[in-house]
Structure 1
């Protein structure tokens, strides 16, 4: 390109290819994807969209998702939203366009009605926790740096400050979960946060419920989630029954009081038991069945991503980080990306004369090494079929490798969720020092690369494609 690519120029290039500002109903983003609500998907020029240098892939779901990669998507999304909401020159309405837009709205409504309750629930879970990921990553990296400084006895004057910076968010994460939960389920966000704040309030240690003294943080993010859900339910019930003149006084008071009392005298204890069970189960699985658990988790993660079911793991990761300081599940799941990279490399080697496919692999491989797997999944392995299966085999082998060391007592965890691949190294934490932790994780990645490559090279490329390539 002759001009510099900036978030604004990228947004300006994307907008006409998705039908223009009039076709965009919503703009949102997660860690890697720009999520657009579109009135009429037939207006999307997908081939031209995929050809843009900034676009790593495209995924169609309840929203139209454009994979831009971490960092880039966070800068492009606000620029695109600014362009979409900018005042437009008046245009003469056309009946055909209006009818087409209305038809697309009806199709979208039908798609939503046909969505399964499980997938809808998981999307809502993701909407609650995904906005927290940037803070988890930032604080996680600072916590890892601080741990290294403490172990080396360097800069002792600054490590307490770094501890405060890294730990402040995690100490109050329940409040953010409560705020996002109420927002997602149609309540007043600040009331959800207010009730969830009870979970982490230091004075809760003076409360005895059913003969048990409560402790700050008991129940963690699960308790905060349940408390905010209850607060939203109470708020809606109260608001529909009080006079408008008294709404501003009675609704928040009754909401916080009722939901707060139930949280203290029930939800905190119940959620605490569930959280403790999650931590105990994760430890037991890795100690007693580490290799097998790693094989399953590493091998099944790509299909879980395809089905959207991986979102169910977000609260579990967050609970483990809150309890133990790191999640032992994420490094196992990250091995799926390693298998994907190995499979893509094998396809690159076997199909030497398929220039288009090799160009796709070259452009997507750096993102794949850093844990952004969508470009390789949707651009290479899934369309070819077999490489997707052999990529899962590579992920299973890498997961088994890391899980085997867990059985030997060498835990490998991540202080935050979101990154994987090489990008996970700064977030690694274990029970036997950073060098051994990084070595085990690196060994798992290498295993995933090798097995994914080997399985794909010999079994993953269709015979007809390979024969055509060799002629």
Structure 2
């Protein structure tokens, strides 16, 4: 990475830290494939609109953590700098955090503090969804996501290497190093249960290493000598579901034991009891039960797409954007991981990725139809590259969802693409992903299927094209009423000699249902 790139990421982190209320307002810092996830102590101190207006920010998601969408290329680097700044400022080594914050706030204030009614409407929808989502079931789903999201970088890396190794094997290239590549690609997956156990124990209030210890029983070769339910166990039986259950049980037993064990004996008795009890339950129960559940998930997925592929793809592709909006897509993470463990790839992820294709098509149609609305067109220009790579939040919350009907036509476009992939699977040509995380164009390096990589790439690529076209056509003709299109197109153009900073703030316009919205300059940058 160049010095200028490093400086740019550090500057972005410094400015964002000031806008979330400074280091003392930050309780945690993590990141996933595209989002910087920040725990904040006081939500009122977060200047969300200024963050949204930041040129490096693609979007904002206000959930259990405050999530800033930066894109796959920048998020890990900004997160590293952000965490370093938080630690640095807290110990007082910098001595100038207040000045930095003031400077960053001054710079950010010029980015445009006028509320964009379109973004505000999306923010209101997110806030309402967050309130509705605070149920025990959905909080449990968030815990499941917290277990698996940290594993995604390794899943992606090993998935890509597995695909590359498969290509080289088929072509007969680099034969001497293929065993090494195969070991690198499969090593993590052979021990993924241990990592799931560590994260599960941490999430459920136990000691992480104890969760990893009990989960390590599952891939241990010695379990082949054990009989449970009248049959010998197989190493790896139960997979990630078994590891999740084992580590959660271990955390519960650990907490329960610690209540009555004297403090002087805690270090000896508590971990021993926790590992012993949860280990016995894992060997003589969880491995068998979780193995049956994992096999059933694989059979059900194969049957669903093999027998009713077109209809199943239609439903899955059409409903995935609402699932993302409600946070329910997190329930699919263990299913994807289980399918990867059973079949080597998940056939569900490419089908669900068609939802993003429908939204890209919808955004392109709005860009064409609203040729006089520079505010929305600028937002689309900023968010579309991320959408093509599978980062859909900027388009969801910045464009299609606040406008209403385009969100529905985007879902319909995703349904068309999903139906195509489902039909291909029904005809015996499946497209699956060897890892979870990416979608859109970023999914191509991870593709695998029943007919090999080439067929999977062809089917998935055609599915994207179907999703793009369907989303575009449906949105172009049905996404906006004639009145709404005319009113949105009536917005003033930005004067040709105006710089972005001098561009006039567009006035609120009534949309098709009579509500008010504003056509302001883009709220995010690519």
Bin for the TM-score computed over the shorter chain: over 0.9
1:218 corresponds to 2:272: no
Match of 2:101 in 1: none
2: distance between equivalents of 1:300 and 1:231?
A: 36
Query: Cα deviations across residues 84-133 of structure 1 (Å, max 9, x unaligned)?
Result: 232345999xxxxxxxxxxxxxxx9xx99982001100000000000000
| Aligned ranges 1:60-459 → 2 under 5 Å | 60-85=62-87, 86=89, 87-88=91-92, 115-459=134-478
Match of 2:42 in 1: 40
Distance 1:66 1:164, change over 3 A: same
Query: Cα deviations across residues 343-369 of structure 1 (Å, max 9, x unaligned)?
Result: 000000000111111111111111111
Deviation at 1:45, TM superposition (A): 2.8
- Which ranges in structure 1 are unaligned for 5 or more consecutive residues? 93-107
2: distance between equivalents of 1:17 and 1:231?
A: 40
2: distance between equivalents of 1:22 and 1:80?
A: 13
TM (normalized to structure 1)?
A: 0.92
SS of the residue 2:60 aligns to: strand
Deviation at 1:238, TM superposition (A): 1.3
2: distance between equivalents of 1:435 and 1:333?
A: 20
1: distance between equivalents of 2:192 and 2:489?
A: 56
Q: CA RMSD in A?
A: 1.9
Structure 1 or 2: more helix by fraction: 1
1:25 corresponds to 2:44: no
Distance 1:273 1:51, change over 3 A: same
Aligned residue pairs, count: 452
SS of the residue 1:146 aligns to: helix
Check whether the contact 2:133–2:326 (CA below 8 A) recurs between aligned residues.
Answer: no
Match of 1:468 in 2: 487
2: distance between equivalents of 1:91 and 1:352?
A: 44
Distance 1:422 1:216, change over 3 A: same
Distance 1:327 1:467, change over 3 A: same
Deviation at 1:241, TM superposition (A): 1.5
Deviation at 1:78, TM superposition (A): 2.3
TM (normalized to structure 2)?
A: 0.83
2: distance between equivalents of 1:22 and 1:198?
A: 41
SS of the residue 1:199 aligns to: coil
2: distance between equivalents of 1:217 and 1:157?
A: 29
2: distance between equivalents of 1:470 and 1:62?
A: 37
2: distance between equivalents of 1:299 and 1:398?
A: 9
SS of the residue 1:416 aligns to: coil
Check whether the contact 1:414–1:427 (CA below 8 A) recurs between aligned residues.
Answer: yes
2: distance between equivalents of 1:47 and 1:187?
A: 38
1: distance between equivalents of 2:63 and 2:157?
A: 29
Query: Cα deviations across residues 287-327 of structure 1 (Å, max 9, x unaligned)?
Result: 10000110011000000000000000000000000011000
Check whether the contact 1:350–1:461 (CA below 8 A) recurs between aligned residues.
Answer: no
Deviation at 1:342, TM superposition (A): 0.1
Deviation at 1:243, TM superposition (A): 1.5
Q: Which of 56-65 and 175-184 deviates more?
A: 56-65
Query: Cα deviations across residues 143-177 of structure 1 (Å, max 9, x unaligned)?
Result: 00000001111111111111100000000000000
